[in-house]
Amino acid sequence: MNWSGYILSKELASVLFLFGFVIVIISISAFWYNLRRTPRITHGELGVLFAPYFSEAVADEVDKLFILIKQELKSHEFANRFTVLKLPPNIPVNSHEEAVSVLAKCNATVLVWGVFDNGATTVGFSPIRFTFHHSPIIPSQEWLDRIAVPIACGRYRFESKDVPVEREVLAKNIDLIARNLMGLAVLVAGLYADAEKIFSRLWIDVKTLLAKGKGNLAILERFFEQIKSDYTFAITGQICSLYSPYLFNEKLFKIPFSDLHQWLLRADKGLQINPRDSGSYMLKATFHFLLGQEEKAIQCAKRAKLFDQRALAGINFSLAFLYNYTGQFKKSRKEYKLGMAKESSYEERLVKECSYFIRQAIERYPEKKQLRLAFGLIEFYRGCREIGISEITQFIEIAEVDVSLNEFVVEGKRILKEAGTQSNIEDAILKETT
């Protein structure tokens, strides 16, 4: 028994040792996995991520930025909506594509990362970038373009945008960068009122620094331009959030005039901050039209076109509509052609906005028969082709006897002829393949 007991005790000890060893291995593996696993931001939260590696030149500043952004968030009532994390060391970020991929996997809003070559040294003029990634919560692509100042380098995708941060601004004004990062994250999330509060104070502080004339003013002025753009977008974003429900619920002409006047004042505030903001001018053009002030609307749309640097088809479509409404066929046709030639004319939200707006204008102003051509044209070329053909056909039937609309009728017939030619070609191709 003793011998037998001794053997059993040894086996038991071995089993216990093996069991303990396995537990240790599992614990270490779990710890290692948790340390290196890709973080996932909870739905409804706004994730701000920091890449694991930066060049030595800016590493200390980035660490300070990480701490400052967390401190800044604590002082705001929306802080509980944010999660600020550093990525594990096995998830480096060295390109825009990698940044977008990481943001998508983590369900995050913004990523702070550095630009390196193979030797782990910074390349390009900016060692730090903020990359945004989100579902299309912003009304249209033209609004997305306004998230970042036009001088930002890199090409954008619809769901992402790079904003470079210059080293000198980061080193000497890191508190401003922290507030700017927080403001941009809030802005992308659609919390426009909160974003306006952040950018209004930031705008004042940077403007004061520029007035003092200290430091590299050229770099600071570029940063100031970015702030002005974002500050203005926070204002116009709020206006759009109030206007859009009327548009898409087909109550466009039930907007109280008092609201329209208030929105005009808000758009003017945006222009006081950024006098070359095409988005603010476009909103003013819309509201002036709804107030029955067509000439003012045209002048605002012209200003929007003058300051547009991003080839936005929506501006051309708006001018084309206004010229159509006032019976100026040649100008209307020219603007539609310019708009259709731009890539942004294919943006689905823009097409829907145009269709909703024109359809309601047709109901409000039945005497403006040429508006049916405007609606049919948008649908035919960028929306539903069948609806477009139907609308243009109806327009010709009701307008052909009106001599004043002769140019519009001729254009409608040209489009129908084009549609017939296309149909014949499609039928011929179909016969060849069957």
What residues form DSSP beta bridges with 113?
129
| Arithmetic mean of pLDDT, 359-373 | 96
Residue 348 has pLDDT above 90, yes or no: no
Residue located via tokens 């030639």: 341
State the pLDDT confidence band at 311, using cuts at 50, 70 and 90.
confident
Give the pLDDT score at 298: 98
Q: What is d(CA 268, CA 261) in angstroms, rounded to the nearest whole number?
A: 11
Distances (CA, A) of 155 to 96, 151, 163, 301, 342: 9, 11, 11, 27, 17
Question: pLDDT at residue 333 above 80?
Answer: yes
The DSSP code for 182 is H
Residue 111 near residue 58 (C-beta atoms within 8 A): no
Read off φ and ψ for residue 47, nearest 5 degrees.
-95, 125
Of 147-151, 379-383, 412-416, 428-432, the one with minimum mean pLDDT is 147-151
- 160 pLDDT above the threshold of 90: no
| Rg over CA atoms, the chain | 29
> In Å, how far are 301, 304, 314, 378, 398 from 320, measured between CA atoms?
10, 13, 10, 11, 21
- DSSP bridge pairs for 347: none
> Of residues 110 and 283, which shows the higher confidence score?
283
Could you tell me which residues come within 8 angstroms of residue 10 by beta carbon, excluding any fewer than 6 positions away?
A: none
- How far apart CA 354 and CA 312 sit, in angstroms, is 13
Tokens of 280: 């603010």
Name which residue leads in pLDDT, 155 or 116. Answer: 116
Q: How far apart, in whole angstroms, are the C-alpha atoms of residue 226 and residue 146? A: 9
pLDDT in tens, 96-126: 788 888 888 888 878 888 754 434 444 443 4
Question: Is residue 244 scored above 60 in pLDDT?
Answer: yes
Integer Cα distance of 37 and 123 in angstroms: 28
Q: How far apart are CA 397 and CA 412, in angstroms?
A: 10
Please give the Cα distance from 413 to 373 (Å, whole number).
10
Beta-ladder partners of 131:
111, 162
Closest CA to 231 of 262, 264, 203: 203
Name the one residue in this structure whose structure tokens are 């028994």.
1
247 band by pLDDT with thresholds 50, 70 and 90: very high
